[in-house]
């Protein structure tokens, strides 16, 4: 147990953060009980099927020992929960789980990797009631995880700000969507060439994407990624969104419980895609904001850090199958130089790791002085059969509702296996036609769309960063993507994830939806992600609300400090 | 320059190498995987975590063990259709190409549908359609689906949009339901013969199996018709699964049935639902052919029309536009369930099964247009289906071939047992291959897990000229049968060796 907190230090606040908002332990208990039941069942199956497996015996004994460890962990967790509940009942408002007991809980959570890669999600009142007899355990896990993460987003969907109809509605600076070029896209999509209804588009498609679209994607990527040679349509698989591509890749590259390394903070959507269907663990490679001798830039990724995380994971018995990189990075906004990219790829090759590179923001680099280098532009890849590139139109063309994502990989095995998911992640033929027309029109993209989009992103970025500077809020990202990564540490006292969550709730109470660092697996509390790719009037109002909340927060802090001082 | 989609997709010259064939092969996937090309006696590989997958796992593979199994699904899907897609029939360009009577698609009404989808109301583009939305589907569409199903399923009370979840097709729905209702390794009961692709849909992500309720063609005992499903048979299959240690979580019913073209009467349906309730089983009722009942007299009733469902919380209904509106390429399917836990859990997975906002808008427009559906589309579609059905069944009668089909769906379930020298699946496969050699593609019974060798599914929902030619080629094969059966099949040496075993 102690070795756990040694290896991955958890800031003190994180523990409290895991206690549900309403202090109800019921859903947690239930979940543990369900896992317990499952674990016991498996345990007995293993015990009863021991005979006749002499070859496998060693493996078996090992498995049984692991199961026993898990069982005792789960039971301990239940006891701890009951104790902490008793404690919170006494104290009424303040949940005070002891350090030790929470430590155990975390250990328990980590121990059940195969079933559940991430810590138990935070449950609120509404999900506490959500316990179903009709769902499978994994069905409950999926539902609870999803509901707890998307509750606020759903509230936003139901009560969106509208300049005339709903001036008090939510403004969303928390979901990474580009709303700056809706006029251009709407116009483009209404043009005549977009509407085509042919028999072939209404019939069963080629499940990895119609050939005409895969050809266009190959051409498009060759051009915009500046590939040294023409990319091959046979290496393209087209699905309904990048999250589907990621989910399918996780399925075919990992078995349940195996893992990918991901530099943290990272895009929170990966947590879903790895967990909901695929049951793959994401092991964060924690990056730090502080600049030191070895850390020459904030949140700098180095091979040393990758190596350390990998070895640590292996030491704990985890099977790491790959490395996930996002370039341009989300949420920090860094762009990897060709040199560092090469180093990461070589590191991966050294350890036989697959590399999934998500380049979904590649055309959203709005600082003209910075050149983005796609991994597809490299003359030679260290391990081309283990390098898989993801791109989609959601961000770069601001059409997340279109549902389109593409995989590019040289590995034929991976192409075939991911193609099998075409059944489940297919795109309408009509939409495939529109996408093809869109990607094909390089002239419009180069002369109209990209310059306008970059200009608008730059302006929005300028506006938001000027505001942040005026508030003396430190931030990262001045070149790419739709977001800035901001540091609100000074508004937290103490600087814990619980305080971070409370601040997040305060924004929410003021009808402003942001994303907080915890969702990005950031190691340090106090970071938020702010999406600026929205129209100026909405952005202005959002920043008003933002300033109000921070002002309130500041006042509350002063009051609190005064009270503390008086108590002393 | 870029050329238009349709032809590229079938032109082998534009794509190179075997990988391409494989994918063209799978382009009719829903059906082809299960129905036409499953290797004859190859069992599904053991599932990951359950058994040894060594048979598919060279250590050199880049894939995980489940990845290798998934790839197996894909690779095996390709085999039967490789030949077809290299040599697809085209009236002008390739008149001696292969006619496809194997894939269950309605190709009779593209004229009507293209017209409707090209109307100006379909072309709306607005920002909200281009952005992230409710993953259950846009509310406007769910409302329209609820109204549509209330009307066409004749539900006693209006159906509610909260109970609707919209996805990109029935395959996705099977995948999501399997995942949220079953643990890995658990099973659904399904009466055979059944639409074989479901095996893959529930397995890919869910790792869920199907426990077959084997039905036979012979009418004995209490049965009044061939392949009749009875509660006794359900009970027996359930007991059997239990005795093998397989946990059964639900029952899948396809109504109207695929491939039998039959329907369950309301009384039968009620019995099955009561059976399921008794055993606390979920029931997934796939009604994807509900508007393709072209014989009025059949008296089809949707499960949603029942006055009282025995176990409404465990009854989940599927519908899609693939069949009833002949648009398998559009990718629109929907779930109706009163169980909010199930709806929510399925919706949690919809991020992976979303369909474009623009298509959602078009679907809402289509489903809303009751006048066009009732006065133009359905009457015309039914008339065309009926004519095609009459033609094929007359042909079969003339040949003295027994078949089943009661006027629902796109297919006739044909009994070619008398053409097999021995009642084995090898012989069934050989006959299938002979059809293919004579340039007509059919689906063989084994792909539907039919337990008797010799049954074939003929899809008749195609244009008359193709249908006539297809039937002519069928006749040729059957006429030459006696002669061929004595000699070793001449085609065998040309075929990829792994296809016959």
CA distance A119 to A79: 18
What is the average pLDDT score of chain A?
A: 84
Domain ranges, residue A395: 196-446
**Statement to judge: residues A322 and A270 lie in one domain:** yes
Going by their DSSP bridges, the two strands A281-286 and A320-326 should be labelled as unpaired
Q: How far is CA B124 from the centre of its chain?
A: 31
Instruction: List the single residue in B with minimal CA-CA distance to A386.
Output: B62
Identify the pLDDT of residue A83: 55
What are the chain A neighbours of B352 within 8 Å (beta carbons)? Answer: 240-241, 243-244, 247, 273, 276-277, 424-425
Q: Who among B67, B123, B128 is closest to A190 (CB)?
A: B123
Identify the pLDDT of residue B219: 86
Which residues in chain A (327-346) have CB-CB distances under 8 A to chain B? none
Does A54 have pLDDT greater than 90?
no
> How far apart are the CA of B135 and the nearest CA of chain A, in angstroms?
10
In this structure, chain B runs to a length of 501
Cα–Cα nearest to A487, from A468, A506, A507, A470: A468
Which of A38, A170, A393, A428 to probe the B interface (max B CBs under 10 A)? Answer: A428
Q: Could you give the dihedral angle defined by the CA atoms of residues B79, B85, B170 and B369, in that order, rounded to the nearest 10 degrees?
A: -170
Identify the pLDDT of residue A39: 72
- Structure-model confidence comparison of residues A472 and B488, the more confident one: A472
Identify the pLDDT of residue B428: 96
Decide if A35 touches B, using CB distance below 8 A: no
Which of B122, B206, B284, B331 to probe the A interface (max A CBs under 10 A)? Answer: B331
CB of B202 within 8 A of CB of B210?
A: yes
Residue at A474 is within a domain = no
Instruction: List the single residue in A with minimal CA-CA distance to B362.
Output: A430
CA distance B385 to B109: 10
Burial of A114 from C-beta contacts in 10 A (0-12 / 13-18 / 19+): middle
Query: pLDDT category, A84, cuts 50, 70, 90?
Result: low
Check whether domain B72-110+374-476 has CATH 1.25.10.10, yes or no: no
Helix axes A242-253, B65-86, angle to 10 degrees: 110
What the block records as the tokens of A500 is 């971070």
Instruction: List the single residue in B with minimal CA-CA distance to A393.
Output: B130
Decide if B328 touches A, using CB distance below 8 A: yes
Task: Name the E strands within A270-382.
Answer: 281-286, 320-326, 354-358
What are the chain A neighbours of B347 within 8 Å (beta carbons)? Answer: 146
**Statement to judge: residues A284 and A370 lie in one domain:** yes
Residue at token pair 């069963």 = A204
Name the percent of chain B in helix, strand, coil, to the closest 5. Answer: 50, 10, 40
Mean of pLDDT values over B386-412: 95
Decide if B112 touches A, using CB distance below 8 A: no
**Statement to judge: residues A224 and A365 lie in one domain:** yes
Which of B47, B91, B329 to probe the A interface (max A CBs under 10 A)? Answer: B329
Instruction: List the single residue in A with minimal CA-CA distance to B312.
Output: A134
**Statement to judge: residues A405 and A282 lie in one domain:** yes
Domain count, chain A: 2
Which of B60, B112, B131 to probe the A interface (max A CBs under 10 A)? Answer: B131
> How far apart are the CA of A479 and the nearest CA of chain B, in angstroms?
24
H or E element that contains A424: none
Identify the pLDDT of residue A1: 35
Mean of pLDDT values over A242-255: 96
Identify the pLDDT of residue B212: 97
- Those residues whose C-beta lies under 8 Å from the C-beta of residue B163, and which sit 6 or more positions away, are B146, B336, B337, B338, B340, B343
Cα torsion A221, A225, A230, A235: sign: negative
Identify the pLDDT of residue A95: 35
Which of helix, strand or coil describes residue A208?
coil
Q: CB distance B330–A205 less than 8 Å?
A: no
Q: Who among B14, B27, B352 is closest to A207 (CB)?
A: B27
**Statement to judge: residues A200 and A163 lie in one domain:** no
Residue at A55 is within a domain = no
Decide if A256 touches B, using CB distance below 8 A: yes
**Statement to judge: residues A146 and A285 lie in one domain:** no
CB of A250 within 8 A of CB of A428?
A: no
> How far apart are the CA of B245 and the nearest CA of chain A, in angstroms?
11
Which residues in chain B (414-443) have CB-CB distances under 8 A to chain A? none
% of chain A residues with pLDDT over 90? 66
CB of B345 within 8 A of CB of B84?
A: no
Going by their DSSP bridges, the two strands B282-286 and B315-320 should be labelled as parallel
Q: How far is CA A558 from the centre of its chain?
A: 35
Which residues in chain A (161-220) have CB-CB distances under 8 A to chain B? 175, 177, 179, 182, 185-186, 189-190, 195-208, 210-213, 215-216
> How far apart are the CA of B421 and the nearest CA of chain A, in angstroms?
35
Decide if B162 touches A, using CB distance below 8 A: no
Decide if A416 touches B, using CB distance below 8 A: yes
- The vertex-A234 CA angle with A230 and A240, nearest 5°, equals 110
Q: Who among B117, B131, B183 is closest to A197 (CB)?
A: B117
Task: Name the E strands within A336-487.
Answer: 354-358, 387-392, 405-409, 475-476, 483-487
Decide if A275 touches B, using CB distance below 8 A: no
**Statement to judge: residues A393 and A262 lie in one domain:** yes
Give the CB-side neighbour count of residue B491, counting CA atoms within 13 A: 19
Cα–Cα nearest to B284, from B241, B226, B346: B346
Instruction: List the single residue in B with minimal CA-CA distance to A135.
Output: B181
Identify the pLDDT of residue B79: 62
Check whether domain B125-369 has CATH 3.40.640.10, yes or no: yes
Query: pLDDT category, B481, cuts 50, 70, 90?
Result: low
CA distance B454 to B452: 6
Decide if A478 touches B, using CB distance below 8 A: no
**Statement to judge: residues A441 and A488 lie in one domain:** no
Q: What is the DSSP letter of B193?
A: S
- Those residues whose C-beta lies under 8 Å from the C-beta of residue B222, and which sit 6 or more positions away, are B230, B232
What are the chain B neighbours of A392 within 8 Å (beta carbons)? Answer: none
Query: pLDDT category, B84, cuts 50, 70, 90?
Result: confident
Decide if A255 touches B, using CB distance below 8 A: yes
**Statement to judge: residues A421 and A512 lie in one domain:** no
Burial of A465 from C-beta contacts in 10 A (0-12 / 13-18 / 19+): middle
Which of A226-240, A283-297, B23-37 bottoms out in mean pLDDT, i.e. has the lowest? B23-37
Phi-psi region of A427 (alpha: psi -120 to 50; beta: other; left: phi over 0): beta
Instruction: Specify the CATH number for the domain of residue A498.
Output: 3.90.1150.10
What is the average pLDDT score of chain B?
A: 85
Name the percent of chain A in helix, strand, coil, to the closest 5. Answer: 55, 10, 35
Identify the pLDDT of residue B114: 94
Q: CB distance B171–A210 less than 8 Å?
A: no
**Statement to judge: residues A208 and A355 lie in one domain:** yes
Per-position b or e across A209-243, b if 16+ CB within 10 A of its CB: bbbbbbbbbbbbbbebbebeeebbbbbbbbbbbbb
% of chain B residues with pLDDT over 90? 75
Q: CB distance B131–A179 less than 8 Å?
A: yes
Q: What is the DSSP string of A486-521?
A: EE-GGG-SS-SHHHHHHHHHHHHHTTEE-EEGGGGT
What are the chain A neighbours of B249 within 8 Å (beta carbons)? Answer: 136
What the block records as the tokens of A100 is 């030790």
Query: pLDDT category, A111, cuts 50, 70, 90?
Result: very low
Identify the pLDDT of residue A198: 87
Give A496-524 pLDDT, tens digit per residue. Answer: 999 999 999 999 999 999 999 999 999 99
Which of A430-444, B8-22, B46-60, B347-361 bottoms out in mean pLDDT, i.e. has the lowest? B8-22
Task: Name the E strands within A508-560.
Answer: 512-513, 515-516, 527-531
**Statement to judge: residues A311 and A403 lie in one domain:** yes
Give A170-194 pLDDT, tens digit per residue. Answer: 999 999 999 999 999 999 999 999 9
Query: pLDDT category, A52, cuts 50, 70, 90?
Result: very low
Q: How far is CA B63 from the centre of its chain?
A: 29
% of chain B residues with pLDDT over 70? 83
Query: pLDDT category, A150, cuts 50, 70, 90?
Result: confident
- Structure-model confidence comparison of residues A110 and B435, the more confident one: B435
Cα–Cα nearest to A206, from B356, B223, B85: B85
> How far apart are the CA of B472 and the nearest CA of chain A, in angstroms?
25
Residue intervals of chain B classified under CATH 3.90.1150.10 are 72-110+374-476
Give B109-161 pLDDT, tens digit per residue. Answer: 999 999 999 999 998 999 999 999 889 999 999 999 999 999 999 999 999 99
What the block records as the tokens of A395 is 């961000």
Decide if A535 touches B, using CB distance below 8 A: no
Does B20 have pLDDT greater than 80?
no
Q: What is the DSSP string of A171-201?
A: EE-SS----TTHHHHHHHHTSGGG----HHH
Does B28 have pLDDT greater than 70?
no
**Statement to judge: residues A275 and A401 lie in one domain:** yes
Residue intervals of chain B classified under CATH 3.40.640.10 are 125-369
Query: pLDDT category, A8, cuts 50, 70, 90?
Result: very low
């Amino acid at each position: 147990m102690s070795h756990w907190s040694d290896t991955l230090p958890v800031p003190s606040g994180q523990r409290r953060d895991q206690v549900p908002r309403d202090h109800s332990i019921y859903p947690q208990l239930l979940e543990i009980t369900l896992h317990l039941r499952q674990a016991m069942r498996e345990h007995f199956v293993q015990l009863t099927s021991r005979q006749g497996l002499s070859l496998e015996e060693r493996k078996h004994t090992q498995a049984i020992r692991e199961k026993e460890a898990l069982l005792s962990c789960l039971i301990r967790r239940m006891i701890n929960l009951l104790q902490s509940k008793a404690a919170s009942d006494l104290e009424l408002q303040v949940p005070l789980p002891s350090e030790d007991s929470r430590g155990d809980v975390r250990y328990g959570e980590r121990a059940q990797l195969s079933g559940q890669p991430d810590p138990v999600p935070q449950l609120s009142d509404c999900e506490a009631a959500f316990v179903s007899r009709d769902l499978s355990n994994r069905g409950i896990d999926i539902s609870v995880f999803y509901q707890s993460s998307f509750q606020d987003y759903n509230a936003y969907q139901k009560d969106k700000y509208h300049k005339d109809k709903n001036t008090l509605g939510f403004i969303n600076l928390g979901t990474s969507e580009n709303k700056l070029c809706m006029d251009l896209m709407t116009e483009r999509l209404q043009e005549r060439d977009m509407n085509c209804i042919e028999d072939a588009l209404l019939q069963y498609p080629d499940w990895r994407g119609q050939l005409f679209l895969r050809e266009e994607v190959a051409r498009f990527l060759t051009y915009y990624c500046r590939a040294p040679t023409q990319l091959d349509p046979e290496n393209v698989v087209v699905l309904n969104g990048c999250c589907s591509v990621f989910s399918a890749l996780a399925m075919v590259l990992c078995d349940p419980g195996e893992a990918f390394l991901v530099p943290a903070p990272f895009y929170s959507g990966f947590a879903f895609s790895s967990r909901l269907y695929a049951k793959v663990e994401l092991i964060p490679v924690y990056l730090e904001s502080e600049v030191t001798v070895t850390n020459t830039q904030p949140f700098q990724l180095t091979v040393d850090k990758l190596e350390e995380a990998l070895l640590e994971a292996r030491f704990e018995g985890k099977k790491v199958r790959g490395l996930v990189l996002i370039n341009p990075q989300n949420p920090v906004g860094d762009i990897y130089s060709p040199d560092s990219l090469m180093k990461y790829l070589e590191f991966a090759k050294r350890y036989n790791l697959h590399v999934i590179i998500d380049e979904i923001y590649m055309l959203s680099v709005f600082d003209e002085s910075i050149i983005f280098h796609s991994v597809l532009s490299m003359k030679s890849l260290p391990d081309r059969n283990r390098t898989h590139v993801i791109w989609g139109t959601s961000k770069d063309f601001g059409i997340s509702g279109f549902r389109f994502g593409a995989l590019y990989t040289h590995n034929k095995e991976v192409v075939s296996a991911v193609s099998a998911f075409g059944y489940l992640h297919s795109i309408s033929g009509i939409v495939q036609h529109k996408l093809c027309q869109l990607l094909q029109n390089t002239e419009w993209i180069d002369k109209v769309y990209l310059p306008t989009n970059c200009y608008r992103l730059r302006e929005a970025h300028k506006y938001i960063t000027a505001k942040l500077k005026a508030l003396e809020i430190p931030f990262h990202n001045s070149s790419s993507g739709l977001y800035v990564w901001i540091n609100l540490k000074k508004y937290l006292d103490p600087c814990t994830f619980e305080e971070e969550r409370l601040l997040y709730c305060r924004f929410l109470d003021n009808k402003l939806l942001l994303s907080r660092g915890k969702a990005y697996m950031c190691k340090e509390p106090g970071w938020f992600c702010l999406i600026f790719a929205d129209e100026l009037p909405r952005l202005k109002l959002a920043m008003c609300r933002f300033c109000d909340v921070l002002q309130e927060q500041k006042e509350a802090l002063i009051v609190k400090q005064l009270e503390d001082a008086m108590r002393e | 320059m870029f050329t238009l989609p349709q032809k590229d997709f079938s032109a082998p010259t534009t794509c190179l190498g075997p990988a391409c064939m494989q994918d063209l092969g799978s382009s009719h996937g829903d059906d082809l995987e299960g129905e036409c090309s499953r290797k004859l006696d190859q069992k599904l590989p053991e599932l990951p975590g359950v058994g040894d997958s060594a048979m598919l796992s060279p250590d050199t593979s880049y894939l995980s063990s489940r990845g290798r199994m998934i790839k197996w699904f894909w690779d095996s899907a390709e085999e039967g259709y490789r030949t077809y897609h290299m040599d697809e029939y085209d009236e002008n360009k390739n008149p001696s190409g292969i006619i496809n009577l194997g894939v269950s698609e309605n190709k009779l009404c593209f004229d009507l549908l293209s017209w409707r989808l090209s109307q100006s109301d379909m072309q709306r583009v607005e920002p909200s359609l281009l952005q992230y939305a409710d993953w259950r589907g846009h509310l406007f569409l769910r409302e329209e689906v609820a109204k549509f199903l209330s009307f066409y399923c004749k539900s006693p009370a209006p159906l509610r949009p909260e109970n609707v979840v919209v996805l990109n097709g029935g395959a996705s729905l099977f995948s999501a339901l399997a995942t949220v209702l079953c643990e890995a390794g658990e099973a659904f009961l399904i009466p055979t013969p059944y639409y074989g692709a479901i095996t893959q849909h529930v397995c890919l992500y869910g790792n869920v199996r199907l426990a077959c309720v084997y039905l036979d063609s012979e009418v004995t005992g209490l049965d009044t018709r061939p392949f009749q499903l009875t509660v006794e048979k359900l009970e027996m299959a359930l007991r059997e699964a239990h005795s093998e240690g397989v946990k059964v979580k639900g029952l899948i019913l396809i109504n109207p049935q695929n491939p039998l073209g039959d329907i369950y009467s309301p009384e039968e349906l009620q019995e099955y639902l009561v059976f399921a309730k008794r055993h606390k089983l979920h029931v997934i009722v796939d009604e994807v052919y509900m508007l393709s009942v072209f014989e009025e007299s059949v008296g089809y009733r949707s499960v949603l029309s029942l006055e009282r469902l025995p176990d409404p919380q465990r009854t989940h209904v599927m519908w899609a536009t693939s069949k009833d509106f002949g648009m398998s390429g559009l990718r629109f399917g929907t779930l109706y369930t009163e169980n909010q836990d199930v709806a929510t859990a399925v919706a949690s997975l919809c991020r992976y099964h979303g369909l474009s906002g623009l298509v959602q808008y078009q679907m809402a427009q289509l489903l809303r247009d009751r006048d066009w559906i009732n006065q133009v589309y359905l009457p015309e579609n039914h008339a065309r289906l009926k004519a095609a059905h009459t033609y094929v069944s007359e042909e079969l009668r003339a040949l003295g071939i027994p078949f089943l089909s009661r006027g629902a769906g796109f297919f006739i379930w044909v009994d070619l047992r008398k053409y097999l020298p021995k009642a084995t699946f090898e012989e069934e496969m050989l006959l299938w291959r002979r059809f293919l050699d004579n340039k007509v593609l059919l689906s063989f019974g084994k792909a539907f897990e039919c337990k008797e060798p010799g049954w074939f599914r003929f899809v008749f929902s195609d244009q008359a000229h193709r249908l006539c030619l297809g039937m002519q080629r069928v006749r040729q094969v059957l006429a030459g049968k006696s002669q061929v059966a004595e000699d070793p099949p001449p085609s065998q040496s040309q075929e990829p060796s792994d296809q016959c075993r």
